[in-house]
Amino acid sequence: MLEQIQDSIREQQVAVAAKILQSRGVDIEEVKRKLAALEVEVPSWGFARAGTRFAVYTDGTEPQTMQDRLAAAGLCHKLTGSTPGVALAIPRDGEDCDLILQTLKAHGLKAGAINSDSFNPRQAPLDYRLRWGSLTNPIPEVRRAALDHHLGCVAMMGKLGSRNFSLWLHDGTNSAGQLSLFEQSRLLEESLRELTGALSGDQQIFVEYKFFEPGFYATAIADWGWAYALATKLGERAKVLVDLGHHPLGTNIEQIVSNLQILGKLGGFHFNDKKYADDDLATGSVDPFQLFRIFNVLVEADFSGLQKIGDVAFMIDESHCLKDPLEEMIEAVDNIQRAYVLALSVDRKALKEAQDNVDAELGDQILKNAFFDTPANAILQSSRLERGLPADPLEELRASRSQQRSQTATR
Ligand SMILES: [Mn+2]
């Protein structure tokens, strides 16, 4: 009975949504088609419990192994239907490509971007001396071993069928006397040229920037300008990756996105949200309007033909410290889909006219109407149901988990 009422309410909401969108010159079926085509890559590390610099508070329920993490990713894809690709961290997820491939396949997944972790100390020469950096480490044998690790990741990409290499370095200095800024740049460029030269086929490298941490004085790739300059030096295969958390407070991220698109160098995103620094909170959980503004730019670029939205890599990079990691991942996927639906529901023709007429007030009202007055839930849920997915994947997960718990309790 309750389900019938919910279905009936949903049908009415979808009908209202269709009418609202129609009044803005938007076809709801087209929105649902685009939504169904949107793939969001999830990181294997995001299914484990993360911590702060102070502690990790595990309770024993979190995935511990690569197999456990990919099983959780498989459930995420089963519930959302939108996350077939999993970003892998090497060596954390192991270096046995056959085992990784087999596990991915068992859960209906594919390899996403390869993230070459060169920050965790391991066997010499990649031991404590990694404290001085990886690809810009002034000690030749450490730098060489770090580069060899990256080259090994490229070899793994070929075996795993992964297209994208995600480059984030922990390299940076804590004081002006530690390393010449010119030497840091020289070592970086030399290493990256060799790394990029190892790519083949349609493989790409995404250069990620971060304005601080762990280097508190000068990180090797601190901002989008330097990431763009490097990507340009490295050629066609290199693009810039925008991690939403890696900017100073107040930065206009959507403007960086549009600039990179104009320059033909936007590779993709690491989605997360922040309040203060690189907090790695769930995407859209602090500032959903920022996520909407970013998608507004992406949709405008897609419509104008500047860059097809399908050519942008959408990846989540979050640190799930407190909430259940799988639940928070699904929350993030839902927030990304919502932002996309809202951006697709903007009356583009009216917005262009308002902007041509320098009617800033009207332009803002048009964006505001899309953000606040779009029945996004109805659109998202009907799109999911039509694809044989649960209307609300998070609710579905929680319901099935509480059922499992009560079954275990009665046993
Ligand atoms: Mn990132």
**Domain-ending residue, one of 339, 370, 399:** 339
Report the pLDDT value the prediction gives residue 148, as an integer from 0 to 100. Answer: 98
| CA of 49 relative to ligand 1 center, distance in Å | 17
Report the pLDDT value the prediction gives residue 408, as an integer from 0 to 100. Answer: 83
Report the pLDDT value the prediction gives residue 53, as an integer from 0 to 100. Answer: 83
> Which whole number is the average pLDDT over 59-83?
97
Total number of domains in the chain: 2
**Domain-ending residue, one of 308, 339, 370:** 339
Same domain, 57 and 93: yes
| CA of 151 relative to ligand 1 center, distance in Å | 20
Q: Name the residue type at position 383.
A: S
Same domain, 46 and 161: yes
DSSP H or E stretch at residue 366: helix 360-372
| CA of 248 relative to ligand 1 center, distance in Å | 15
Query: Looking at per-residue confidence, does 404 or 197 come out higher?
Result: 197
| CA of 320 relative to ligand 1 center, distance in Å | 14
| CA of 351 relative to ligand 1 center, distance in Å | 33
Rounded to whole angstroms, how far apart are CA atoms 350 and 43?
A: 38
Same domain, 258 and 385: no
Same domain, 230 and 376: no
Of the chain, the percentage scoring pLDDT greater than 90 comes to 96
**Domain-ending residue, one of 339, 373, 392:** 339
* Residues 240-286: tens digit of each pLDDT: 999 999 999 999 999 999 999 999 999 999 999 999 999 999 999 99
> Which whole number is the average pLDDT over 293-320?
98
Same domain, 72 and 193: yes
Report the pLDDT value the prediction gives residue 236, as an integer from 0 to 100. Answer: 98
Same domain, 323 and 194: yes
* Residues 310-341: tens digit of each pLDDT: 999 999 999 999 999 999 999 999 999 999 99
| CA of 272 relative to ligand 1 center, distance in Å | 9
| CA of 190 relative to ligand 1 center, distance in Å | 23
* Residues 349-390: tens digit of each pLDDT: 999 999 999 999 999 999 999 999 999 999 999 999 999 999
Report the pLDDT value the prediction gives residue 175, as an integer from 0 to 100. Answer: 98
Report the pLDDT value the prediction gives residue 6, as an integer from 0 to 100. Answer: 86
Check whether the bond before 214 is cis (ω within 30° of 0): yes
| CA of 166 relative to ligand 1 center, distance in Å | 9
| CA of 271 relative to ligand 1 center, distance in Å | 8
* Residues 146-175: tens digit of each pLDDT: 999 999 999 999 999 999 999 999 999 999
Same domain, 254 and 397: no
| CA of 209 relative to ligand 1 center, distance in Å | 8
Rounded to whole angstroms, how far apart are CA atoms 386 and 382?
A: 6
* Partner residues linked to 111 by β-bridges: 86
User: Does residue 15 have a pLDDT over 80?
Assistant: yes
The sign of the CA dihedral 360, 361, 366, 371 is: positive
Same domain, 286 and 226: yes
Distance of CA 405 to the CA centre of its chain: 32
pTM (two decimals): 0.97
- Please report whether residue 34 resides in a domain: no
User: Does residue 410 have a pLDDT over 90?
Assistant: no
Rounded to whole angstroms, how far apart are CA atoms 225 and 40?
A: 26
Of the chain, the percentage scoring pLDDT greater than 70 comes to 100
| CA of 316 relative to ligand 1 center, distance in Å | 8
| CA of 378 relative to ligand 1 center, distance in Å | 31
Residue 66 is part of which domain span? 39-339
| CA of 317 relative to ligand 1 center, distance in Å | 5
Same domain, 290 and 327: yes
Task: Give the angle subtended at the CA of 175 by the CAs of 234 and 185, to the nearest 5°.
Answer: 15
Same domain, 228 and 102: yes
> Which whole number is the average pLDDT over 38-58?
95
User: Does residue 109 have a pLDDT over 80?
Assistant: yes
Same domain, 376 and 237: no
| CA of 255 relative to ligand 1 center, distance in Å | 19
Same domain, 290 and 352: no
| CA of 328 relative to ligand 1 center, distance in Å | 17
Task: Give the angle subtended at the CA of 208 by the CAs of 176 and 37, to the nearest 5°.
Answer: 165
- Please report whether residue 31 resides in a domain: no
Report the pLDDT value the prediction gives residue 227, as an integer from 0 to 100. Answer: 98
- Please report whether residue 59 resides in a domain: yes
